[in-house]
Amino acid sequence: MKILISAYACEPNRGSEPGVGWNVVREVCKYHQVWVLTTNCHREGIESELARNPIPNLNFVYLDPIGWTLDWSQEGKKAQWGVQFHYYLWQIKAYFVSKSLHKQIGFDAAHHVTYVRYSSPSFVSFLPIPFIWGPIGGGESAPKAFWKDFSLRAKIYETLRHLLRSVGEIDPFVYITAKKSALIRATTEDTAKRLYKIGASSVQIMPESGLPAEEVANLAQYKISDSSPIRFISMGRLLHWKGFHLGLRAFAQANLPDAEYWILGNGPEEEKLRAITQELGIAQQVKFWGRLPRQETLEKLGQSHVLIHPSLHDSGGWVCMEAMAAGRPVICLDLGGPGVQVTKETGLKIPARTPEQAAEGMGKAMKLLANDPELRLRMAEAGRERVQEMFSWENKGKQLAQLYEELSGEDKTCLTLG
């Protein structure tokens, strides 16, 4: 089959959205011919990889609106509004380019992969072929009860984020994208509810994240340790919505004097988090490692026993998958992507009603896992099994290839009956 994939973010050896784009197209082209629409900012990384490791059936079309190339991974941190505007214009340009390509090639199906955002349209959906939208996310919000811990800057961020989504929800092209989709996949229940609100008729819940086989194998090499001291770990940018302040409060309430809590990452909340450790009297047990290279980060995960991931609105939650692949139980809030990825067999999901209740619940979970090595072992084994079954890119690629065939077959049947 001939498949068109819209992947604004797509680059090898990268995490987050570029990693999603690259891994999807790399796996799907094992089964079908694939043409990928992406931006010029990823061109160097893609072409360098293909020069070293050519991939049959994979074709890239680089485009940018009005000749404006923007490296969103760098500039986007300083000018998010500029990135949003560029992305919208890129989608319009992608439609005209894809329309022309379709006349030449005759695609069997189209699929929007990145950005993973439900509140922005995909104009590729206007092509007269079956269209898959997603998995898409972004419908998650930090519960209002948790805002009282946020700084003014954080509250402004959350308010603007909500307004931006609301504008997207009344965009007629977002509504049309939903209506034209043969299949919509959402990363979480929260996003699915918002998609139904804007006109979607059927939405599947499907995490967008995955891990390549070689990484799953590498993570599986970390031994499951029952040594002392018990070590908890959190990894990610130190942002207000990552909820690390809740993790610290939980650790203090767990009252485990011989335990350690490692925090990996940097960000604007670091000073506040360090102050919390002093206030709670746990500064001697908490180690801030800063931002480390990926391999060192995974090694630190391998030296720990349990992942703490108290994020308040994560669509994905890659770190939870990495922890499960490494055989580390996960303690998270029952919100967003982590709430979908983690099960009762692989970790402990804490309801998020208030900050006090959430911290207390996580503290009890920390104490339980610290004192029960057999439970940690059972969760470790279940986590590794779940990643193999649900989150390997190889399995995702095979499932997508079959899905394209099914949708294309349904479309041809409808045309014949019509």
Give SS3 for 62: strand
Please check whether residue 405 is in contact with residue 1, taking contact to mean a CB–CB distance below 8 angstroms.
Answer: yes
Please check whether residue 128 is in contact with residue 24, taking contact to mean a CB–CB distance below 8 angstroms.
Answer: no
Residue 294's pLDDT is: 84
Query: What are the pLDDT digits (tens) for 29-60?
Result: 999 999 999 999 999 999 999 999 999 999 99
Which has the closest alpha carbon to 55: 2, 102, 103, 12? 12
Please provide the DSSP assignment of 179-227 as one string: HH-SEEEESSHHHHHHHHHTT-S-EEE-----B-HHHHHHHHTS-----
Which has the closest alpha carbon to 381: 347, 333, 414? 347
133 forms bridges with which residues in the sheet? Answer: 112, 184
What mean pLDDT comes out for the span 159-168?
A: 90
Please check whether residue 25 is in contact with residue 33, taking contact to mean a CB–CB distance below 8 angstroms.
Answer: no
Spatial neighbors of 215 by CB under 8 A, at least 6 apart, are 325
Query: What are the pLDDT digits (tens) for 95-125?
Result: 999 999 999 999 999 999 999 899 999 999 9
Band of pLDDT at residue 415, cut at 50, 70 and 90: very low
Distance, CA of 174 to chain centre: 21
Band of pLDDT at residue 73, cut at 50, 70 and 90: low
Peptide bond between residue 115 and the one before it cis (omega within 30 degrees of 0)? yes
Residue 395's pLDDT is: 87
Q: Classify burial at 164, counting beta carbons within 10 Å of its beta carbon; exposed 0-12, middle 13-18, buried 19 or more.
A: middle
Domains of the chain: 2-210+392-417 (3.40.50.2000), 213-390 (3.40.50.2000)
pLDDT at 210 over 70: yes
Could you give the C-alpha distances from 96 to 43, 77, 101, 166, 273, in angstroms and in order?
20, 29, 9, 27, 48
- φ, ψ for residue 220, nearest 5 deg: -70, -15
Query: What are the pLDDT digits (tens) for 213-266?
Result: 888 888 888 888 777 889 999 999 999 999 999 999 999 999 999 999 999 999
Could you give the C-alpha distances from 142 to 83, 149, 314, in angstroms and in order?
23, 11, 9
